[in-house]
Structure 1
Amino acid sequence: MKFFKLITFAGVMAMSLNVFAEGGGDRTFEKMLSANTKAMAQYAANQGKPAPVVKEYEYGMTLDVVKVVSVVRPQVACAVVPAVMTYEDSQGQLNTIKYTVAGDCRRQGG
């Protein structure tokens, strides 16, 4: 009986840690996005340009990318995760686009 309780407890804890890991990834991305937004505002000010506004990518959207300025890399996760790219277009304007990509699914020690 104690063995069964121990196995049940271990299973519940493993599920709880998985939930925390997913929520932690979202918080980590939001922190990275916030830091990137501040850095791009400073970059824009140094270039004498308006700060870019984060826009959600929509399927079929045409992007006029001349120079990539910054990329917030995808998380290490076996799931679809958010990413952000700031770029300069052919008119010299800064644009920031938020999109989703397949996460970097690397398994440790396998």
Structure 2
Amino acid sequence: MNMKKMAVVLVLGSLGSHAYADTAETKNIPVETYGYSTKLDIEHVISITEPANECAPVPVQMTYEDSHGERHVLQYQTMGTGCSN
């Protein structure tokens, strides 16, 4: 029963984040995955997807422009919003 609930939360959370991030400007931009060695050049943050309502690390995506005006989509892990404490 618990696994079914977690699966539903993951599916619904991923659908919501994709719908939010899938704007006309970001459709053709490849998603980059953040790593500790990733060199970031963030001039302006355009949007950040909402983390899933789960008490675990979850992926989120940030759309931003660099100092040259190019748009990027970066995926990274953050703690979900489902923790009570």
Q: Determine if the TM-score, normalized by the shorter chain, exceeds 0.5.
A: yes
What is the one-letter code of the residue matched to 1:85?
M
Return the TM-score normalized by structure 1: 0.65
Higher relative contact order (CA 8 A, sep 6+): 2
Aligned partner of 1:19 in structure 2 is: 3
> Matched residue of 2:22: which SS?
helix
Q: What CA RMSD, in Å, does the superposition of the two structures yield over aligned residues?
A: 2.3
Which of the pair has more CA radius of gyration? 1
Give yes or no for contact 1:54–1:96 (8 Å, CA) kept in 2: yes
Larger strand fraction of residues: 2
Larger helix fraction of residues: 1
Identity fraction in percent: 27
Q: Flag structure 1 segments of 5+ consecutive residues without an equivalent.
A: 1-15
Pair 1:30-2:14 in alignment: yes
Q: Among 45, 52, 57, which residue is 2:29 paired with?
A: 52
Distance in 2 (alpha carbons) for counterparts of 1:27 and 1:69? 25
Give yes or no for contact 2:17–2:50 (8 Å, CA) kept in 1: no
Q: Flag structure 2 segments of 5+ consecutive residues without an equivalent.
A: none
Distance in 2 (alpha carbons) for counterparts of 1:34 and 1:103? 16
User: Residues 29-76 of structure 1: CA distance to partner in whole angstroms, max 9, x if unpaired?
Assistant: 32123213421xx1x28xxxx842111112221111111111111122
How many correspondences in the alignment?
85
